[in-house]
Structure 1
Amino acid sequence: MMHTDVVIVGAGPAGLCLANALSGAGLSVVLVEQQSDDALRGPAFDGREIALTQKSVAYLKTLGVWERIDAHAKSQLSDARILNGSSPFALKIGHALSGHAELGWLVSNHLIRRAAFGAVESLAASGAAVRVMASERVIDVDTDACGARVRLESGKTLAARMIVAADSRFSATRRMMGIAADMHDFGKSMLVCSMTHDAPHEHTAWEWFGHGQTLALLPMNPDPETGACRSSVVVTLEARDIDRLSGLDADAFNREIERRFERRLGAMALQTTRHVYPLVSVYPTRFVAKRFATVGDAAVGMHPVTAHGFNFGLDGIETLSRAMRDAHTAGLDIAGDALLARYEQKHRQATRPLYMVTRFITEVYTRDSLPARIARDAMLRVGERLTPFKRAVAMSLAGQ
């Protein structure tokens, strides 16, 4: 039996960042991950571009992750526009309202994963007590007042003081601990890919609530080979329509995306593979149990419309790791009931309001009835005139 202070299930960006934060305090950490070492060291492009707030970027810098990402791969997110249907009118959220030179930064998910894994490997090479057990699957967990145990499919058992689930919004580890979750299936899927286009994006993100579809445009740096304008494109439709769209050849796909964007970006060309994800938001009834906690999407699985998913994950990781580090320094239990209760309360207060607002936005802004379209247009026009409202949105997007 292997003994360690903390077992983290899941070596995605959330699990890796938590391991980084805890090992720096002298705690021993084991990460258990189903993927192979090669997949962790060189993760494949998965289509997802992550909008990072100013607060998240600052935290990734403290973890030594930010500088491991190539500078050209970090795209400035200057402003945001919210559009409704075919109207040329847009609610504009400018970066100046946030007090920063930009609202945040856009980085590919697989590059964050690679950088986070590199940071953990660097810690291990320098002598930190952090280990990644790749190609391993957890089949059972149990905890009590004295400790925690994790059993692996390979037959190994890990004994720890604390278990943390960081294994996706559909966390099997969370279920093993008997924690239920509110899962809301929106009945739609989103297709994500990168495309070049003729018209400049001016580093502005679009959220476009169209008729029968939702579109998003996330501004990326110019194509490194051609210098063409480039963006991450997100199309949300019913699953059968997404399946048809993802099956089109490249030329037909380009023409259809141009049509869906009403040719506001001019000619568009697919640059990457296409990836499809079901839209399901998840909020557990509890974030913690005896000697157990959830982080990242295992704690809160957000709808991407407000771009707060990974940012909430980092916020929770910072809160939990700080509490555990302080307890370790003081010679206290790093998995005490009171410590975990405080983490749950703080993370719930930080996430629940926006989780519910996001549910409301997606319900109201994706209805296609004529009254709903009129109401959306009216709300956007009123919002454009309310500077305090726009400032609040800008500060939220910046992570303040």
Structure 2
Amino acid sequence: MTANNVSLCSGKETDVIIVGAGPAGLSLARALAPSGLSITVIEKQELTTLAQPPFDGREIALTHYSKELMQQLNMWEKIPADEIYPLRDAKVINGSSNYQLHFEQPTMARGKPANSLGFLISNHHIRRAAYEAVQSFHNVNFITGHSIVDVRNEAANQIEATLDNGQTICAKLLIAADSRFSNTRRQLGISAQIHDFGRTVIVFRMRHTLSNQHTALECFHYGRTLALLPLEENLTNCVVTINNEHAGEILDMSSLQLAADITKQLKGKLGEMHLVSTIHHYPLVGVHANAFYAQRSALIGDVAVGMHPVTAHGFNLGLSGVNILAKLINEAVDKGKDIASQSLLAQYQRQHMPHTRILYHGTNAMVSLFTNDSQPARLIRSLVLRISNNMPPVKKLISKQLTG
């Protein structure tokens, strides 16, 4: 692996190291597996957790394009059909007004007939499907229960990672896929723009007596944001986003108090409600790396760009990045070229970063406006919804982003 093809590595050798066995990391492992490259996935969680991920409260909104990518990776078929929920249309409400920005149910998506904006699937089902999709490939190996504590990429033709147990692994390419708070990104010397919104996301499922009509609802109420993600007709995932200092007020509620609170926020739109799941909460932090690659290394998924969930682009962007990078690497394998050349990795960044930058900064600007409760901001918020609702080109552009 040096200039004269003699490796200086004293530990295990592999072609590709993927740090993190989340949906993005495992999707890339599956996308690269048919090439024959030896792939080592390093994950701090135990193997039993990867095989049977627990419910974590998060529902992932997927575009039609993401569905196509997951089908290509044999992931879509591994998710139970009754756990894939159609997202027919979406509405946005500002403050206490009843006026709605409405994204109607489409008839076409990506040039094909469609009857939904996209799909909702629980995060734990996606994680399990991604893990199962790589099981038939013997060139994909796992090291679980350990994390990387050091990365060295000074050598021209290899990158070296040291695990917390002292084991050393050398590879031609290292991929960081270990969350938006990635320690690997830092070890690679890649800086990132980090936007701490000072808010907490609280997620849980509720059953209700009136139909949600498979319509997503984003309520920018004053003081908090409430998103409703329709699952079954009478089952909805509720996402409360609230300033950190007030998160305890929600988390300390009993199930009856929480149901009454959400019912009040919705003015009874879904009828009687009751909690049917565990409650989970997460810090709301957006991240965009200032580069998507370094020497013999690249970033994918939330390590590259971790989005605010309001526009539902998180895993969709992750899959898009996986698809771009995997195509470049597989082409290099077919042509006998270096899978981690600077030109290849730079091309990955050129193809992926412009889109992520626009969405990341655009989303943050929108969130800043719609969580500003000053009187001038309230007026602008209302005006933005009305302009968007009455300008077909604007609605068409946003709907195109929603469907992929």
Shorter-chain TM-score: what band? Answer: over 0.9
Return the letter of the residue paired with 2:177. Answer: A
Deviations 1:276-315 (Å, cap 9, x if unpaired)? 1111100111110000000000000101111001000000
Return the letter of the residue paired with 1:13. Answer: P
Secondary structure at 1:8's aligned position in 2? strand
In the alignment, what sits opposite 1:225? none
1:75-224 maps to which residues of 2 (within 5 A)? 75-96=85-106, 99=109, 100-124=114-138, 129-143=139-153, 144-222=155-233
Q: Give unpaired runs (5+ residues) of structure 1.
A: 223-228
In the alignment, what sits opposite 2:47? 37
1:98 and 1:265 map into 2 onto residues whose CA distance is 29
In percent, how many aligned pairs have the same letter? 43
Partner residue of 1:395 out of 390, 397, 400:
400
Q: Give unpaired runs (5+ residues) of structure 2.
A: 1-10
2:142 and 2:96 map into 1 onto residues whose CA distance is 50
1:7-86 maps to which residues of 2 (within 5 A)? 7-86=17-96
Partner residue of 1:247 out of 240, 252, 261:
252
Query: Is 1:319 equivalent to 2:324 in the alignment?
Result: yes
CA deviation after TM superposition for structure 1 residue 98, in Å: 5.1
In the alignment, what sits opposite 1:230? 235
Deviating 4+ runs (over 4 angstroms) = none
Deviations 1:347-372 (Å, cap 9, x if unpaired)? 11121111111011011111111221
1:370 and 1:139 map into 2 onto residues whose CA distance is 49
Query: Is 1:369 equivalent to 2:374 in the alignment?
Result: yes
CA deviation after TM superposition for structure 1 residue 374, in Å: 1.7
Secondary structure at 1:24's aligned position in 2? helix
CA deviation after TM superposition for structure 1 residue 199, in Å: 2.0
1:396 and 1:78 map into 2 onto residues whose CA distance is 15
Return the letter of the residue paired with 2:101. Answer: L
Return the letter of the residue paired with 1:60. Answer: M
RMSD: 1.1
Deviations 1:52-92 (Å, cap 9, x if unpaired)? 00000100000000000001100001111011112111011
In the alignment, what sits opposite 2:6? none
Aligned length: 389
Q: Quick check: 2:107–2:115 contact (8 Å CA) kept in 1?
A: no
2:387 and 2:108 map into 1 onto residues whose CA distance is 20
CA deviation after TM superposition for structure 1 residue 95, in Å: 2.8
Deviations 1:319-338 (Å, cap 9, x if unpaired)? 00100000011000000000
1:189 and 1:259 map into 2 onto residues whose CA distance is 20
CA deviation after TM superposition for structure 1 residue 103, in Å: 1.0
1:227-306 maps to which residues of 2 (within 5 A)? 229-306=234-311
In the alignment, what sits opposite 1:309? 314
In the alignment, what sits opposite 1:352? 357
1:279 and 1:169 map into 2 onto residues whose CA distance is 11
Deviations 1:4-63 (Å, cap 9, x if unpaired)? 110000000010000000111111100000000111111111110000000001000000
1:204 and 1:197 map into 2 onto residues whose CA distance is 14
Deviations 1:85-140 (Å, cap 9, x if unpaired)? 1211101111326543211100000110011111111333xxxx111111111111
Secondary structure at 2:136's aligned position in 1? helix
TM-score (norm 2): 0.94
CA deviation after TM superposition for structure 1 residue 156, in Å: 1.2
TM-score (norm 1): 0.95
In the alignment, what sits opposite 2:333? 328
Return the letter of the residue paired with 2:85. Answer: S
CA deviation after TM superposition for structure 1 residue 181, in Å: 0.8
Q: Quick check: 1:169–1:298 contact (8 Å CA) kept in 2?
A: yes
Deviations 1:225-274 (Å, cap 9, x if unpaired)? xxxx0111001111132222112111111111111222222211111111
